[in-house]
Amino acid sequence: MESTPKHSRKEQILQSLARMLESAPGERITTAALAKEVGVSEAALYRHFPSKAKIFEGLIKFIEDTLFQRITRIMNEDPSAESRCEKILLLLLTFCVKNPGLTRLLTGDALAGETERLRERIAQFFARVEAQLKQILREAQIRENLKPTISPSVLANLMLATAEGRLVQFVRSEFKQSPLENWDTQWEYLSRSMMIPFDEAMATAQAN
């Protein structure tokens, strides 16, 4: 379907904001600067978005739609709990490497001084990812006869916190320290004792 001029301008505004977040790490984006980047007046900017918060929400929605569509695909195509968790976390890290400016949104770096609603939206995004990881780990006990070495809630939080920490380092280094650096090795270490066969877990518990 061909985009209408109105939709094209909205997309241009969102792309310009993402570009500014990437090219000016640490700086607060004003509507005046954004309008200049787009090549329109502030009044024209507000004809497409009623507030700067709504523009940020547009980018957050893009993140949500893109990542959760792919997470759904992972859930449908891969039956292994360990592989699902690995692919979801790798998806998050890879997306951020390809979209550094949007990583500033996910870490909250770009939201200082902005409305609380935006920070709540980001918190909800990560809560949703964590809930998905937790569900995968709980289902693994039944589907794969596996038992997490720690509770699914604690393990899901640990996995996501590890990935989030990599994103914070990425932003803090002004996008020089890739969150994918050494990730394969770190994931192997993290997953090595993540889950063990249920029968083995029971035997160990009885021995102790």
Residue 6: exposure state from Cβ atoms within 10 A (0-12, 13-18, ≥19): exposed
Average pLDDT over residues 75-89: 93
116-143 and 152-172 helices, crossing angle to 10°: 140
Asked which of 76-90, 102-116, 131-145, 160-174 is least confident by mean pLDDT, the reply is: 131-145
Contacts of 91 (CB under 8 A, 6+ apart): 67, 70, 71, 74
205 pLDDT above the threshold of 70: no
pLDDT of residue 147: 63
Please choose, from the candidates 164, 53, 67, the residue with its C-alpha nearest in 3D space to the C-alpha of residue 106. Answer: 164
Map residue 31 onto helix, strand or coil: helix
pLDDT greater at residue 192 or residue 201: 192
Q: Specify whether the CB–CB gap between 159 and 89 falls below 8 A.
A: yes
pLDDT greater at residue 13 or residue 24: 13
3-state helix, strand and coil shares in percent for the chain, rounded to the nearest 5 = 75, 5, 20
Q: What is the pLDDT of residues 42-70, one digit of tens each?
A: 999 999 999 999 999 999 999 999 999 99
pLDDT of residue 108: 94
Q: What is the pLDDT of residues 137-183, one digit of tens each?
A: 888 877 766 665 678 898 899 999 999 999 999 999 999 999 999 99
206 pLDDT above the threshold of 70: no
| The CA-based dihedral angle spanning residues 38, 114, 156, 96, taken in that order and rounded to the nearest 10 degrees | 20
Rounded CA-CA distance 81/98 in Å is: 26
Phi, psi of 108 (to 5 degrees): 85, -5
Rounded CA-CA distance 76/11 in Å is: 30
Phi, psi of 26 (to 5 degrees): 90, -15
pLDDT of residue 112: 85
Which pair of tokens denotes residue 192? Answer: 């090595």
